[in-house]
Amino acid sequence: MAVITSEPGTPGRSIYRDILHGSAFYSLPLLVQRITGFALLPLYTRLLAPSDYGTMEMLDQAVGLLTLLLGSSFASALSYFYFQSEAPDWKRRIVSTTILGSLLLGIGCAILGIAGSGLLSGLMFGTPDNAGYFRILFAGVAFSFPLEAVLCWLRTINAAPLYAFASILRLAATMGLIVALMLGAGWRIAAVLTGTAVVTTIFGIVLILLCRRRLGPFQFDPALFRKVFRYSAPMAVTGLALFVLHFGDRFILNSYITIDQLGIYSMAYKVGMLIAFLSSTFNSYWTSQIFGIMKRPDGDEVFARVFTYLNVVMLFAVVCVSVFARPTLRMLATPPFLAAAALAPLIAGAYYVRAMGDFFRNILYVQGRPGLDAVFNWIGATFCLGSYFVLIPRWGAWGAATATFLSFLFLLVLIAAWTFRIRPYRLEIARLSKGLLAAAIPLSISYLVRPEWLASQIGLGLVLALLFPALLVVLRFPTPGEWRRVRELPLRLGWTRMAALRRS
């Protein structure tokens, strides 16, 4: 594994700006979602008990697993085929076939799910009483598949502003309807499920019609549908393994802890997975554009530098989540949920490791080897299941979080080593080490120093969060070129404002 020490060339710097701008737009919906979620946390935690959170967690995971098996990953293949030809007719056929194919799969999945809701409720909860919740969830599945296909198309053509606008509008409508049903109708779990299903259906229909208006009459190509389905089939197998890695612990925990404790664990995940906001926004751009980026002459160099930037941003997020988890929950949640603060840092660390592994997984898709991704993730899932059965009976929720962390670490090592054999890459090892050291120091202090007063917790959190970038400077993490661009930033902003004033 080679080490990069030089500055990238001019083309590389241009692509970094594109990545930053694209990721910034893709971050807006997730940022609004996180802010709205935490703003509504006082309302949710007063109207929903920990047991309600536990029930919704089990419902979401069961439906997520079944939709994955029945074709929800179909739309993910669009980017791979879209860049195979520049011919407009080809692009129109692949987009329309993917959207119509997703609609067919979504309707089929909804019909099967609604018909089997009673059976699912009995299997998951030991009673048919929750069958109605399953029916609501599956009713929204029919148009969730093609909705994801349209959003994937928007990411593929890098229509980031339109993607962000549609996603934020959908989120606002969903949250508004949920709150209205909670406060107006007095619903609890049903409000969350119904609001999501109704808005998903409406937005699915609207975006399909808008896409058709942009592309013209849809052209369904059965042969192309089969090709896309064959390419995406390993993704479903991969997705099943990822489901085990991400959510399999809920099913095992259900046998060892109470539904209230499961709700607290779900809250810890809600806080710890805040760092997934960053990796998700980055991946929204990167996974659709990497196919073109890696064809550039400086593709390998861009790959290494982007990994360094992603690594340091994710480490900073882990530090922030870890030091602010306790005061945040004290301010926003009711006392029964405060125990989640202790678990959140471990979960955040696990998803930092996961983000690093996901970065290397992209090489498999660039090389047209999605089947290998399925193999590796199933190896990781097997390791994870073994860890669950060993650690959960002993330590409950702590055992589940630890097993998740160890499994993601195992998978990171496995995928990084194997992808290097397929396509040797270079990494900035020295800078990556500095980033890890800069994060380890504030995290260690936050573990050793635990003030009880809320003001002290907030103050310590601010100090430790600022300590991370300060240590990066002390350790000489930035390159000379990066320092130069930082110093030039005020001048560039000034010129930008002057140019805007002249244009106006």
Is residue 109 a contact partner of residue 69, using CB atoms and an 8 Å limit?
no
Query: What integer pLDDT is reported at residue 502 of this predicted model?
Result: 52
- φ/ψ (deg, to 5) at 473: -65, -45
Can you give the pLDDT at residue 27?
67
Do residues 185 and 56 make contact, with C-beta atoms less than 8 angstroms apart? no
pLDDT at 26: 67
CA–CA dist 439, 471 (Å, integer): 9
Q: What residues have CB less than 8 Å from 165, skipping those under 6 apart?
A: none
Question: What local confidence, expressed as pLDDT, does residue 158 receive?
Answer: 77
Give the pLDDT of residue 9. Answer: 41
Q: What contacts 455, CB < 8 A, 6 or more positions away? A: none
| SS3 state of residue 3 | strand
Dig out the tokens for 471 from the structure. 């240590």
Q: DSSP letter string over 351-417? A: HHHHHHHHHHHHHHHHTT-HHHHHHHHHHHHHHHHHHHHHHHHHHTHHHHHHHHHHHHHHHHHHHHH
pTM above 0.85, yes or no: no
101 and 62 Cβ atoms separated by less than 8 Å: no
Q: What is the pLDDT of residue 468?
A: 96
351 vs 314: CA distance, rounded Å: 9
Q: Which residue type, as a one-letter code, is found at position 403?
A: A
C-alpha 204/C-alpha 89 separation (Å) is 24
pLDDT at residue 434, rounded to an integer: 96
pLDDT in tens, the chain (504 residues): 443 333 444 344 456 666 666 666 666 776 676 677 666 667 777 777 777 767 777 777 777 767 766 666 788 788 778 878 888 888 889 999 999 999 999 898 889 889 988 888 888 787 888 888 889 888 888 888 888 889 888 888 878 788 888 888 888 898 889 889 988 887 888 888 899 899 999 999 999 998 888 888 888 889 989 988 888 777 777 777 777 777 778 778 877 888 778 878 888 888 888 888 778 878 877 877 777 777 778 778 888 898 999 999 999 999 999 999 999 888 877 788 888 889 999 999 999 999 999 899 888 888 878 778 878 888 988 999 999 999 999 989 899 999 999 999 999 999 999 999 888 888 999 999 999 999 999 999 999 998 889 999 999 999 999 999 999 999 999 988 778 777 776 665 554 444 444 554
Residue 3: the pLDDT is 39
Rounded to an integer, what distance in angstroms lies between the CA atom of residue 232 and that of residue 236?
A: 7
| Residues 125, 120: Cα–Cα separation, whole Å | 8
Question: With helix as H, strand as E and coil as C, how does 270-338 read?
Answer: HHHHHHHHHHHHHHHHHHHHHHHHCCCCCHHHHHHHHHHHHHHHHHHHHHHHHHHHHHHHHHHCCHHHC
Classified as helix, coil or strand, 108 is: helix
Taking the C-alpha atoms of residue 388 and residue 267, their distance in angstroms, rounded to an integer, is 19
Number of neighbours of residue 87 by Cβ within 10 angstroms: 9
Whether 204 and 187 have beta carbons less than 8 Å apart is answered as no
The torsion angles phi and psi of 399, rounded to 5 degrees, stand at -65, -40
CA distance 280 to 359: 11
Buried b (16+ CB within 10 A) or exposed e, 160-190: beebbebbbebbebbbebbbebbeeeebbbe
Q: Which amino acid is at 62?
A: A
The amino acid occupying position 323 is V
Asked if 367 and 423 touch (Cβ cutoff 8 Å), the reply is yes
State residue 490's pLDDT score. Answer: 63
Who's near 272: CB < 8 A, 6+ residues apart? 321, 325, 343, 344, 345, 346, 347, 348, 350, 351
Question: Which phi and psi (to 5°) does residue 426 adopt?
Answer: -115, 145
Q: Among residues 267, 263, 254, 362, which one has the least CA distance to residue 307?
A: 362
* Exposure of 490 in the CB half-sphere (CA atoms within 13 A): 1
Q: Domain coordinates of the chain in residue numbers?
A: 1-39+237-497, 67-220
Query: Residue 216 has what DSSP assignment?
Result: -
The DSSP element (H or E) to which 478 belongs, if any, is: none
DSSP state letters, 309-320: HHHHHHHHHHHH
Helix (H) or strand (E) holding 427: strand 426-427
Task: Give the pLDDT of residue 69.
Answer: 65
Q: Helix or strand or coil: residue 219?
A: coil
pLDDT value of residue 183: 86
Q: 427 has which bridge partners?
A: 3
Asked if 319 and 243 count as a contact pair (C-beta separation under 8 A), the reply is: no
Structure tokens belonging to residue 489: 């930033």
